[in-house]
Chains A and B, each alone.
Chain A
Amino acid sequence: MNEALEPVALRAMLESMLLIRAYEEKAAAMQASGQAAGTCTSVGQEAAAVGVVAALGADDLILTNHRSAGHLLARGADPARLYAEVLGKSTGYCKGKSGSLHISAKELGVVLTSTIVGAELSLAAGVGLAASMQERDSVVACFFGDGAACEGSFHESLNLAAVWKLPILYVCENNQWQAFVHRRETMPMDQVSTWAAAHGMPVATVDGNDVEAVYRAAREGIAHIRATGEPYFLETYTYRQRGHYEPDDQGYVDKAELAAWLARDPIDRLQQNKQFSVVEIQTIQKRVAERIEAAWATAVAAPYPTHADLTADVYA
């Protein structure tokens, strides 16, 4: 499993990570300049999202949370439709009914996004149950953080998935922060996988800032799920570089810790990979920047929902 990835695959991962970074930084800048509401960015966690999503197949499903842009963009979401959602425009994936916090895109297999921390774990059990009942080959990837792991739904979900043998890839993005509280204040150990192992499923903790390592670990977990139909737990050990939401001055963050993690930035690390020339990286960065600017402009120009939309889509 340790063979080098194809250059083309790595290049695609780099571009995906750069797109996520540029998307989030633009969103934060637009908040700072008063042109958009606040968002919860995933800056610093791009490798964790891209590595896992790259290992998923077309029929696999994703559940995510309030820090979802990375998962959506890695899955191929149109940044213009994501920005439209941030701005409450009718062209968003959720017709402007979500805002930035709970974007689902069923057409991409990103379902039931909830911002209630821990809900994704509860709902993933049902999505996995349906896949199992319908004898589909789908793996259900459920992204959540170390904060959600402290919710009761974490244990309820892992227990049910283990007992009912549900095809769920639990992906804990351990980003060290639970809103404004450091993980070390809320958990007795450093790794969430310790808890997961107690539920009787195979677990792995991987350097979440190394996209190749994340990809390989996810592929291994997915292979296990496809072979057995049973759940697998993958922890991507990473760091939330920005605040809980925008704006957040991060006055509560230990500067030395932040600096140490910035030195391990997942995008810098991948760019240092000798496979990429400076020109190549600049070309990708330029393409990404143009795409983000165009996406923002498209979203700004898009229409708002009409008053008639206020009462639409409550009941089926």
Chain B
Amino acid sequence: MTDLRLLLLSPADNVFVLREAVGEGETLVIDDRAVTLPHRLDRGHKIARRAIAPGEKILKYGAPIGSATAPIAVGEHVHIHNIKSDYTATHVIERKQEEPAQ
């Protein structure tokens, strides 16, 4: 079984989307396997559905949304630290200490 907090948008996808925020140290179940989150993740973030090799396409909505830049394990957070756009680079700003992530 797979955790109800994980949303699979297309059967072809190699990522799930979090329906709700999941706290640090909490456990998610993916295909009967328990994965513990090393840090809190907000609603809408992506979790690997299976192991993904560097260079492999990330599939969401059944469509490629970028490529892996590092090996990604099942249950790992899939985001800008381990995937990149195949079109234009993603721009982020470093968050200031006094403004916590929501």
Binding between chains A and B: no
Interface residues, chain A, CB within 8 Å of chain B? none
